[in-house]
């Protein structure tokens, strides 16, 4: 949450450890109090979530998730890897995450997928592409797709719905529509292979 930051008042530990800010149990209670009582930001009271308060007081890493039983579980979220090529100089840079792309070339976050999917050059200079094609796809997009040609009985299988959509030159949403209705498009029956 913007504005929720840990306030450290121990004078750089020049007079010893401060119980209020150094004890992990005290930090837990302070974080809980901020969630219940709220935090004043820009003259307005905001109520942070537990994970926001714990992150602000550095009680656990943001890549960890606390289960209901209190166990700490590592999350497996990974950032997409992008390749940015300057077509005028030939320089190629790989960065991790959309924010890094924004910081590097000044593109807006919402425009990254447009330039990546269409293959257009940003400002006529930067060609952006994703390296990890199949990572971070939703489970429904990772299911194998089977396409049957009604006329000749030819069957093709694809790893993702995106690949099948590219083969048929149709939108992914169109394929989802025909799969759910078990209908035919352009003499092709589309269904999940599994």
Answer yes or no: is pLDDT of 10 > 50: no
60 & 90 share domain: no
pLDDT, mean of residues 121-142 = 69
pLDDT, mean of residues 168-183 = 86
pLDDT, mean of residues 120-124 = 83
Considering the domain boundaries, does residue 149 fall inside one?
yes
Considering the domain boundaries, does residue 47 fall inside one?
yes
123 & 178 share domain: no
pLDDT digits (tens, 9 = 90+) for 13-25: 444 555 555 667 7
Average the pLDDT over each of 1-5, 48-52, 189-193 and give the range with the smallest value: 1-5
Look over the chain and give the mean of its residue pLDDT values, rounded to a whole number: 75
Considering the domain boundaries, does residue 36 fall inside one?
yes
pLDDT, mean of residues 90-97 = 84
Measured between alpha carbons, how far is 103 from 98 in angstroms, rounded to an integer?
Answer: 9
Closest CA to 51 of 20, 72, 37, 69: 72
Predicted TM-score (pTM) of this structure = 0.35
20 & 69 share domain: yes
Q: What pLDDT was estimated at residue 121?
A: 83
Measured between alpha carbons, how far is 80 from 112 in angstroms, rounded to an integer?
Answer: 12
Measured between alpha carbons, how far is 105 from 171 in angstroms, rounded to an integer?
Answer: 29
Considering the domain boundaries, does residue 5 fall inside one?
no
CATH number of 153's domain = 1.10.10.10
Q: At what angle do helices 161-168 and 172-181 cross, to 10 degrees?
A: 100
Considering the domain boundaries, does residue 25 fall inside one?
yes
Q: What pLDDT was estimated at residue 89?
A: 85
User: Do 148 and 158 form a contact (C-beta atoms < 8 A)?
Assistant: no
Last residue of a domain, one of 27, 49, 74: 74
pLDDT digits (tens, 9 = 90+) for 45-81: 888 887 777 777 776 655 556 566 666 665 555 677 8
64 & 85 share domain: no
Q: What percent of the chain has pLDDT over 70?
A: 71
20, 49, 97, 138 from 115: Cα distances, Å: 49, 34, 15, 21
68 & 15 share domain: yes
53 & 100 share domain: no
pLDDT, mean of residues 113-128 = 82
Q: What pLDDT was estimated at residue 77?
A: 53
11, 23, 39, 57, 63 from 19: Cα distances, Å: 13, 5, 22, 14, 27
Considering the domain boundaries, does residue 6 fall inside one?
no
Count of the separate structural domains present in the chain: 3
85 & 123 share domain: yes
16 & 60 share domain: yes
> Domain range for residue 28?
11-74
pLDDT, mean of residues 34-49 = 85
Q: How many CB atoms lie within 10 A of CB 190?
A: 25
Q: What pLDDT was estimated at residue 153?
A: 87
């Amino acid at each position: 949450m913007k504005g929720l930051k840990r306030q450290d008042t121990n004078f750089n530990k020049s007079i010893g450890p401060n119980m209020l800010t150094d004890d992990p149990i005290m930090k837990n209670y302070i974080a809980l109090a901020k969630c219940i009582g709220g935090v004043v930001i820009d003259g307005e009271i905001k109520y942070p979530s537990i994970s926001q308060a714990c992150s602000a007081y550095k009680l656990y890493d943001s890549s960890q998730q606390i289960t209901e039983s209190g166990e700490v579980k590592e999350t497996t979220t990974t950032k997409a890897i992008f390749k940015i090529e300057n077509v005028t100089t030939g320089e190629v840079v790989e960065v991790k995450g959309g924010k890094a792309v924004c910081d590097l070339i000044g593109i807006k976050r919402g425009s990254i997928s447009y330039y990546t999917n269409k293959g257009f050059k940003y400002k006529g200079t930067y060609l952006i592409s994703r390296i990890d094609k199949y990572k971070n796809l939703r489970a429904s997009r990772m299911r194998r797709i089977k396409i049957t040609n009604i006329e000749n009985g030819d069957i093709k299988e694809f790893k993702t719905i995106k690949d099948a959509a590219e083969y048929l030159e149709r939108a992914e949403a169109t394929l989802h529509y025909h799969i759910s209705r078990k209908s035919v498009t352009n003499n092709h029956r589309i269904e999940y292979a599994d």
